Structure 1
């Protein structure tokens, strides 16, 4: 029973970690673009 409970928690957590990793990976790319746009504005 605890194993099943852990598995129910682990699956969304794993997807969240993958999603977060992809966001950070894309985030660095978008962050550079965003900083470029900010420097262009100011």
Structure 2
């Protein structure tokens, strides 16, 4: 076992961080899409 496996910085699971990254990026692009749709509806 190497040194990094013995001395772990964070004992949290990666799935939580992956889910937060996915939700954050999805939310960002969803907001961008909603803003663009609203601007298009106003301009039409």
- The structure whose residues are more often helix, as a share, is 1
The alignment yields a C-alpha RMSD, in angstroms, of 0.9
Structure 1 position 29, deviation (Å): 2.4
Structure 1 position 10, deviation (Å): 0.9
Question: Could you list the runs of 4 or more consecutive aligned residues of structure 1 that deviate by over 4 angstroms after TM superposition?
Answer: none
> Is there any run of 5+ residues in structure 2 with no aligned partner, and where?
1-13
Show the counterpart of 2:39.
Answer: 26
- Whether 1:15 aligns to 2:28 is yes
Aligned residues: 31
TM-score normalised by the chain length of structure 1 = 0.62
> Is there any run of 5+ residues in structure 1 with no aligned partner, and where?
33-42
TM-score normalised by the chain length of structure 2 = 0.59
